[in-house]
Amino acid sequence: MNSKPITVTQPFFPPLEEFNEYLKKIWENKQLTNGGPYHKQLESELCNYLGVKYISLFSNGTLALITALQALKITGEVITTPYSFVATTHSLWWNGIKPVFVDIEPDYLNIDPDKIEAAITPQTTAILPVHVYGNPCNVDKIQKIADTYGLKVIYDACHTFGAKLNRQSIVSFGDLSILSFHATKVFNTFEGGAIVCHDEKTKKRIDYLKNFGFADETTVVAPGINAKMNEVQAAFGLLQLKYVDGLIQKRGEIASIYRKGLLQVHGITFSKINPVVNANHPYFPIFINEEIFGKNRDQVYEFLKEQNIFTRRYFYPLISQFPTYKGLSSSSPGNLTVAEKAALQVLCLPIYPDLGLEVVEEIISLIIRFQKD
Ligand SMILES: *Cc1c(COP(=O)(O)O)cnc(C)c1O
């Protein structure tokens, strides 16, 4: 048994002395929030890094999602995926919008574009897909449907950071993309988030909305909320950004060790690798087929837990199975069989930059040993 618990993730901590330099400047500037110098600098450096023109920083990803829906005045029904973190659907609920769940496709576990049209009603105003595990959705098909039916597309891109599809940033698709900079994500600002948009007017509107609707000192143009990122968060983001390429590379190494080590294990499969994507490896999900593996996912989860290795079942239960959403009649017009199967089989293994490669090897051996037991 491991003496120290191994969690599914652990944030990267840059050298404290380096962060102190940023803090000193904040102490000199005497500005803690409301769009200070670090906030401005992080917006501009993130635009550069992500290859986009407009980004608005937020205090977290959930408020960014909620505000994105406000910014585009989304109402009625929105088509979304049940295979995600609950905040995706909660953001609809907080806007009084009815979520309509559509099944996912089996390769990447993203919303199945071929099933979207059947779920569109006269009340549908938008599609809210998620780039699950950082694998991009079928953005072309989704955009085509949106254009045909006059719908907006808002991507929950909280799993992606810096990943590209055919050399184009994944967050450049759709009307808006939402990022999370929560401590557990590939790039973090303690808590934090952002909206990526594609024109100056929209950016302005989003910036009003995240600051109570203030356009200037005496003008309130909308019922805004308080969702601003502060200077300490922004400073931490600037420091993280210097390290993030190395961190993603480290994640990639861990992912390939897992893949190599578990490839031959009967009953374990991975989600597909898209050859035109440079990935950011936020999670390492495996899928355990009980009939072939000989034990079910929960048994593997419990066994590893006994060894002090804490994996996570992302995403189980499905959002549509939580009591809040289960009661929604006709919220899933088709069946959700692909999502249900994935939710029962998925297990996310520990992956983070400081995870020792010997621990990765040990986790692989433990899984192989448990199968034979
Ligand atoms: C993390 C996450 C969120 C929420 O972001 P917070 O910054 O934690 O509020 C939303 N959607 C998905 C898919 C996420 O992974």
Compute the distance between CA of residue 283 and CA of residue 280 in angstroms, rounded to an integer. Answer: 9
Which H helix or E strand runs over 148?
helix 139-149
Yes or no: say if 189 and 237 are a contact pair by the CB < 8 Å rule. Answer: yes
What local confidence, expressed as pLDDT, does residue 4 receive? 87
Q: What is the pLDDT of residues 121-180, one digit of tens each?
A: 999 999 999 999 999 999 999 999 999 999 999 999 999 998 899 889 999 999 999 999
- 85 CB near ligand 1 (under 6 Å): yes
Yes or no: say if 320 and 342 are a contact pair by the CB < 8 Å rule. Answer: no
Ligand 1 pocket check: which of 158, 176, 186, 229 to mutate, most ligand atoms within 8 Å of Cβ? Answer: 158
Ligand 1 pocket check: which of 8, 58, 62, 109 to mutate, most ligand atoms within 8 Å of Cβ? Answer: 62
- 60 CB near ligand 1 (under 6 Å): yes
Which ligand 1 atom sits nearest the alpha carbon of residue 62? Answer: 9
Q: Whose CA is nearest to atom 2 of ligand 1?
A: 158
Residue-range domains of the chain with CATH: 16-240 (3.40.640.10), 244-372 (3.90.1150.10)
Compute the distance between CA of residue 58 and CA of residue 99 in angstroms, rounded to an integer. Answer: 23
Which ligand 1 atom sits nearest the alpha carbon of residue 87? Answer: 10
For residue 62, how far is its CA from the centre of ligand 1 (angstroms)? 6
For residue 61, how far is its CA from the centre of ligand 1 (angstroms)? 5
What local confidence, expressed as pLDDT, does residue 334 receive? 76
For residue 15, how far is its CA from the centre of ligand 1 (angstroms)? 26
Compute the distance between CA of residue 184 and CA of residue 12 in angstroms, rounded to an integer. Answer: 9
User: Is the whole model's pTM more than 0.85, yes or no?
Assistant: yes
Yes or no: say if 12 and 232 are a contact pair by the CB < 8 Å rule. Answer: no
Q: What is the pLDDT of residues 279-306, one digit of tens each?
A: 999 999 999 999 999 999 999 999 999 9
CA proximity to 70, closest of 221, 270, 174: 221
What local confidence, expressed as pLDDT, does residue 118 receive? 95
Rounded to the nearest angstrom, the gap between the alpha carbon of residue 185 and the centroid of all alpha carbons in its chain is: 8
- 59 CB near ligand 1 (under 6 Å): no
What local confidence, expressed as pLDDT, does residue 330 receive? 62
Yes or no: say if 226 and 329 are a contact pair by the CB < 8 Å rule. Answer: no
Q: Could you say which DSSP state residue 318 is in?
A: -
Question: Which stretches in the chain have pLDDT values below 70?
Answer: 1-2, 329-330
Q: What number of H helices and E strands is found in the chain?
A: 12, 17
What local confidence, expressed as pLDDT, does residue 37 receive? 97
- 66 CB near ligand 1 (under 6 Å): no
Ligand 1 pocket check: which of 182, 195, 225, 348 to mutate, most ligand atoms within 8 Å of Cβ? Answer: 182
Q: Whose CA is nearest to atom 10 of ligand 1?
A: 87
- 90 CB near ligand 1 (under 6 Å): no
- 154 CB near ligand 1 (under 6 Å): no
